[in-house]
A and B are shown apart, each in its own frame.
Chain A
């Protein structure tokens, strides 16, 4: 693949000094001489096994050679070019006539003959000797030039396909100034060589052939000590371009894999946060693809029947994608629907990982809201407390900067603005219980504002209410809960917790700092990195902790004294909604009769009631279930398999019978007293 790109790039980035090759093509054909035929045969064999690596080596060697040998003879250059042409001839014939053969040859036997290589080396030695002789004879210039012309004729005669020049003409800018025989002839010839090789590649699209051409060209260049000062410029240019080509080739390679992955559809969880470099490379690749496609479209390309994933094949594919995006999308959604788990059809939403696409151009969403949306969708902000505080903060800013349109009542206007903001936010990520309650609270206070309230006062009230909510319901409640749980921890205890919860972290750290001696076990799952984050935080505060994978939770349960869990929400029947895996931990604790404490702020209590994790849940990124470090993971290509659907659920529901107590800032309560708290909150706060 890389080789093709290399060659194609050479074609695209032709140096300005490239001259039209067709001047040399309008000559009558002549048959090959014996030596020529021999050479052709030898080259055919040799080039059948060359590698791209050679190209890089040759680049270095060329550079070194050019550094070491600045002075070269004029004649030697011409000699070199002659050789180049000969080689090219051979290759062209190989490519055109015996392409399949050569490919098969290569594929069947990788050890094509070191013999031929030796032969070639010997030939080169001979040439070197000849050149040295030639250097002494300076009078032979006109002869050589004649020879060259002859050779050119030969070369041109042997060339079967003439129409390729049209394409080359179009792609290359003709620089008439370059037709200056005396000084720039070498340059011209070098350019010509490069152009011709590029043409070959374009025609054939054959990786090996082209790489062979390149390698052969470079080999000739490198082998010759006489490649020189006059050719320095062009060689260096070519070297540089080759280097660029290699690097871009790598990039394009990456992109093609990404693109091909995207191409096959699946859930619309596209990668967020593509780095700028990646985006640039993607764009570049697209451009190249389009250009290549254009070229390909203009001539009947003899595509290789073998080796499917070559870049040239991908290039027209990309173009097809660009053009036929509609049909692809159709097949994409078909694939998506087929790969959804039946019981969760109601949970799959068209989540776009890049929520910024959803904003219409003229929307007046506050930038803080937009920012929050991106943070939520990319999971930068996670955890119920963090999300609630972030939401309230964004609402605070929104209120602060809200401009009341004329003849509108403040509460009505803000309510509609709020509605549109929330609509956007909930598309980025479904709201959690704490966020729902926070919004309820905010709306309640918004509705409570008197009719003809002054805008400034209204804003001030709302902002104060928001601050109070955060302070009372989250911060102070957290402290109260921390103290309550601390009273339940005794010296020598082993506390088990699951996943990451900011409240649990606060409880454990504060208990530790208060002097209690206990050990912590953090249980985590391979899928989410939360538990590792929790472990990190606890260790940073000096707590003795151990990390256990979920599969070992039953094994360690006998050493545990208490289990303390965090909650995302508490339902009206006392069930706890929390990160997937919590129910399993609670069950394991129950089986060993260990008390299970759930620490939950009262602002997370919600009025709804469901008993299982099917009704309300969130489908996470299915690619998270893959083992990233395992390249041979059987799940790697799950998108291509219609019978396989990785399902990544975010939440689960722990039934109240598995929970010993819920610790809230009001009291330590049994799970079943959740409606009591809801009733109490209603009477106290009106919400």
Chain B
């Protein structure tokens, strides 16, 4: 099994399925690896999967969701009792569990969106940041439930993914306004709630998201607006950043940038860390949690 092959599969999934996030795509890739690349021992399989994960991290895609998703996936499929069976049976079991995991994941988004629905009331103004499929789904659900609301969406430089989000919202029938990243402070007094997605949720209960989220959080705290984070549970990761500098480099910069050996202090980071004190609630498929409960859930997942 070669790295390039894995990467090819991964990129193919991403291209073909627009709706799929990087994390889900990564898990699908791993499932494909288990199916296609036959091995004879569990150990070998484990090694294969690790290699695959490593390959995907070097794909110029945001690494946060990939690493957390893959790690949880691995834990989940090996959680079964694999002692007394033959290897083929083990593999079957693992594949089965992998598919279950994936199905759960795909359902997760729907669950989260439904939970968020009750928080969107008629006439409310929502501020959101960059492109998040979960938030989009939540808003579409709200429209379907005949709620009237307004959305402010930031442009979110440098990749301007906010514009994509804006288009999708307008297409869904949402009254959406595109604003500059720098206009967040200006707009904050008009909005009622802030709803954002997350690329990763840390053990502290804070989130890792597109650069600009931290400023949004600070402005919201200052003007007493609640910040709701919509995220799936496979994005929970075990890292615990103490401050912005403490974030792992692989998260902040694309792998190409890291490889090229440029001076990282002159590069624009892709993500930032929002500490738990700026977050009001997290909407996850495990339930609506406070930031302090994230660690509890993580311990349940991992230990």
Q: B-contacting residues of A (Cβ < 8 Å)?
A: 488, 490, 562, 595, 597, 660-661, 666-670, 672-673, 676-677, 680
Contacts and interface: CB of A to CB of B under 8 A. Distances in A.
Contacts of B204: 660-661, 670
Nearest to A663: B240
Interface stretch (B55-63, B138-146, B161-169, B292-300): B292-300
Contacts of A661: 204, 240, 242
Given A667-B203, A670-B276, A680 B299 contact: yes
Contact of B203 (A490, A669, A680): A669
Contact of B299 (A488, A562, A660, A666): A666
A669 B295 contact: yes
Nearest to B299: A676
A486 to B, nearest CB: 13
B8 to A, nearest CB: 34
Contacts of B240: 661, 667-669
Given A669-B203, A672-B292, A673-B296, 12 more contacts: A490-B245, A597-B242, A660-B242, A666-B303, A669-B240, A670-B292, A670-B295, A673-B292, A673-B295, A676-B295, A676-B299, A680-B303
Contacts of A666: 299, 303
B217 interface: no
A595 B206 CA distance: 14
B205 interface: yes
Majority secondary structure, A binding face:
mixed
B238 A667 contact: yes
Contacts of A670: 203-205, 276, 291-292, 295
A669 B293 CA distance: 11
A488 B246 contact: yes
B36 interface: no
A672 B298 CA distance: 14
Interface residues of B, number: 17
Contacts of A677: 299
Contacts of B295: 667, 669-670, 672-673, 676
B260 interface: no
A96 to B, nearest CB: 86
B201 to A, nearest CB: 12
Nearest to A562: B242
B40 interface: no
The listed residue with most B CB atoms (<10 A of its CB), out of A660, A661, A666, A673, is A673
Nearest to B240: A668
A619 B262 CA distance: 58
A211 B303 CA distance: 84
Interface in B231-251: 238, 240, 242-243, 245-246
A511 to B, nearest CB: 15
Interface in B181-232: 203-205
Interface string B268-303: 000000001000000000000001100110110001
A185 to B, nearest CB: 95
A347 to B, nearest CB: 32
Nearest to B298: A667
Contacts of A595: 242-243, 246
The listed residue with most A CB atoms (<10 A of its CB), out of B243, B245, B296, B303, is B296
21 contacts: A488-B246, A595-B242, A595-B243, A597-B242, A660-B242, A661-B204, A661-B242, A666-B299, A667-B203, A667-B240, A667-B298, A669-B240, A669-B295, A670-B205, A670-B295, A673-B299, A676-B295, A676-B296, A676-B299, A677-B299, A680-B299
The listed residue with most A CB atoms (<10 A of its CB), out of B245, B276, B292, is B292
Contacts of A672: 292, 295
A676 B296 CA distance: 6
The listed residue with most B CB atoms (<10 A of its CB), out of A661, A667, A677, is A667
A668 B303 contact: no
B121 to A, nearest CB: 29
Nearest to B297: A676
A666 B295 CA distance: 12
**CB-CB nearest 9 A-B residue pairs:** A595-B242, A672-B292, A668-B240, A673-B295, A676-B296, A670-B204, A669-B295, A676-B299, A670-B295
B299 A668 contact: no
Contacts of B292: 670, 672-673
